[in-house]
Chain A
Amino acid sequence: MTAPGSAVGFFTDSSLCIGCKACEVACKQWNQLPADGIEFTGMSYDNTRGFSATTWRHVQFIEQVDDAGAVRWLFNSDVCKHCADAPCENACPTAAIIRTEFDTVYVQQDVCNGCGYCVVACPFGVLEVESRARDCSSLSEGTAHKCTLCYDRLQDGMEPACAKVCPTDSIQFGDLAELHERAKRRVEQLRDRGEARAQLYGEPEGHELGGLHSLFLLLDEPERYNLPRHPRSPKRAMKAFYLAGLAAAIAVTGAIGLALRSNPA
């Protein structure tokens, strides 16, 4: 199932999620990530809030009341998107962030020096540099962390811990092309059944990041899940930024040269 050289990924079908957080727990157990402490946020049953250096799956709880007073409750297990053209990988100055033989995005903990550039490059707020102040003896201290797509398990032919444990198969792991087919069929099925807002998130067509290797089936607009509708690739504008900056630098150097030439009395 996980032969090196093949592209794998997640398909998270939020219509099947029951908000049990088994994925969060399995992720922490397998990856030996410490608990973050308990804080009641008042955000429905979400006391996780979001990703951190030590939280790589995040189950969202969205309570909606429509105009007619009907209530619906959306769940979704969010995760690193393993972008086809990953901004974190482009930004990483040490090349600690690599694409693995499974076409996933992985932070090599023995190379990362904790500069934090991937943190601001990521369009999804996934990465975090683990603070040295926190007691996380199981992690390499001071480096950037995120979902590894269970790189260690893939190398042994096993599926990621979150997908393995998910009791409803909301989190599906497999060959990316196959997941795309499955996701498309599932959206059509849901729409036929009247779920008009069902939509896929992360398809490669026209996607600035070349598509996501973590696909999501959402039951509302992406923004409701804090997902950017059209995530931008920071590298898109890099040439324009360099050109504008260097043009100004050259012009002002010329002006300084002229000012230095003038001979004040």
Chain B
Amino acid sequence: MKGYYDEPALKPPDWGWSVIAYLWLGGAAAGAFVVGALASLRNKRGDDAIARCAFGASSAVVLLCPPLLISHLGRPDRFHHMLRVFKPSSPMNAGAWALTGLSALAVAGAATSASPKLRKLLPRKAVALAGLPLALFFGTYTGVLLGHSSVPLWAASPILPALFACSSLASGTALVSLAASLTRGIDARGRKRLHRAERAATAAEAVALAGWLNQIGPYGKPLKSDGVRDVFQIGAIACGIILPMIVRSPLPGLVGALALRYSVVAAGKLSSQDQSAYLEFTKER
């Protein structure tokens, strides 16, 4: 049914590049922490190098997140108001607490990797165990955050957080590989293992993406609009999912994860401004 002239029924999100960058880097940092935690818990030959690289990369990238988040606020001087309450009913509040906790643990993971003295005081396995559930939550909640909204494209299917979780783990593994090739901290065998892990997560991401697109159905139309289509198809799918299966380089996976976050946020903006999509979305109880 036609609504009120051509006026949108919803207000668009005013989230720009800094939020997109946060969704990307936060996800990769969470994924890298998971790799570090798994390697340090297993702790067999070659695992120490992987854990060292993973915690280093995770801590460096997770510390970029708070400034990105703070810069998008209407009142950056009030960023700490996010932590004035503990309010799990708000995914954004839950995420702010998770970011705080994960930042501390990723730094602890990197510090215990660097210093054997510190490891006597604080076992790295303890850091890994404490941070693993937090990292899984942190890589996932961003999909819940978008889904907990009135925007049809974001709210139409609960597969969105599953997609973000898979993408976080895949790009996190790629981030560890990137750190390894920059620092030469992991031997060829270890890098091969990491690439296998990235391919496994990317395969899961492909399944999640197909399921998500299938479930959102007509509400996915903005993904095909000018300005989003190329980034989504070339960036998120071709570069982010197909290339990592063929090429052994961490770069396509990382770029693809950014393209996926951009596509979902930009398409969500368009979705919020699509009057007929929203009135259709709310037609049935």
Contacts and interface: CB of A to CB of B under 8 A. Distances in A.
A35 interface: no
B147 interface: yes
B73 A247 contact: no
B166 A228 contact: no
Range of interface residues on chain A? Answer: 35 or more
A231 B158 contact: no
Nearest to B82: A93
A113 B4 contact: no
B205 to A, nearest CB: 8
B144 A50 contact: no
A230 B278 CA distance: 11
A228 B147 contact: no
Contact of B147 (A225, A241, A251): A241
B282 A249 contact: no
Contact of B90 (A50, A114, A117, A230): A117
B181 interface: no
Contacts of B168: 249
Contact of B42 (A119, A142, A260): A260
Contacts of A240: 158
Given A121-B150, A260-B39, A242 B92 contact: no
B210 interface: no
A49 interface: yes
Interface in A225-256: 225-232, 234-235, 237-238, 240-253, 255-256
Interface string B90-112: 11110010000000000000000
Interface stretch (B192-200, B221-229, B256-264): B192-200
Given A244-B161, A248-B165, A143 B75 contact: yes
Interface string A115-158: 11101111111111110100000001111100000000000000
Contacts of A129: 14, 74
Contacts of A224: 1-4
A124 B145 CA distance: 19
6 contacts: A113-B75, A228-B282, A229-B282, A230-B285, A242-B141, A251-B204
Q: Please list the 9 inter-chain residue pairs (A to B) with the smallest Cβ-Cβ separation, ordered nearest first.
A: A114-B74, A245-B161, A142-B74, A228-B282, A248-B162, A113-B78, A245-B140, A226-B4, A93-B93
Given A43-B7, A120-B149, 10 more contacts: A115-B82, A116-B14, A128-B11, A224-B1, A228-B278, A234-B147, A237-B158, A246-B137, A256-B35, A264-B193
Interface of A: 41, 43, 46, 49-51, 60, 62, 87, 90-96, 111-117, 119-130, 132, 140-144, 206, 208, 221, 223-232, 234-235, 237-238, 240-253, 255-264
